[in-house]
């Protein structure tokens, strides 16, 4: 719902602390294309591949600077456009 409403940037700001759980659920449910997009978005804002727990904690505290980087935002916008094309559901499924 967050991605549908305001893109991946909004998703990470409002619900990002659940991104790894959501990714696992998408893969388990066979939402392959949506999972790939979410994984790409995670990799964009976690370029140093810090641990899942540390990354989630940074998201919870809104300490992920990459979200506010114009270059990253532009790349997230491209992923938004791809997300809107797919029929395998949204991140809320």
pLDDT given at position 88: 58
pLDDT value at 49 more than 60: yes
| Mean pLDDT, rounded, of the chain | 86
| In contact, 81 and 36? CB cutoff 8 Å | no
Percent of the chain with pLDDT over 90: 41
Can you tell me whether residue 89 is helix, strand or coil?
coil
pLDDT value at 24 more than 60: yes
| In contact, 50 and 69? CB cutoff 8 Å | no
What does the alpha-carbon distance between residue 38 and residue 41 come to, in Å, rounded to a whole number? 5
């Amino acid at each position: 719902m967050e991605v549908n409403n305001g893109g991946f940037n909004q998703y990470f700001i409002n619900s990002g602390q659940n991104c790894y759980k959501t990714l696992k659920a998408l893969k388990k449910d066979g939402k392959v294309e949506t999972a790939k997009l979410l994984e790409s978005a995670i990799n964009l804002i976690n370029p140093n591949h810090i641990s899942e727990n540390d990354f989630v904690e940074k998201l919870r505290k809104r300490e992920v600077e990459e979200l506010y980087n114009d270059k990253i935002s532009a790349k997230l916008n491209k992923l938004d456009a791809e997300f809107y094309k797919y029929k395998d559901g949204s991140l809320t499924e």
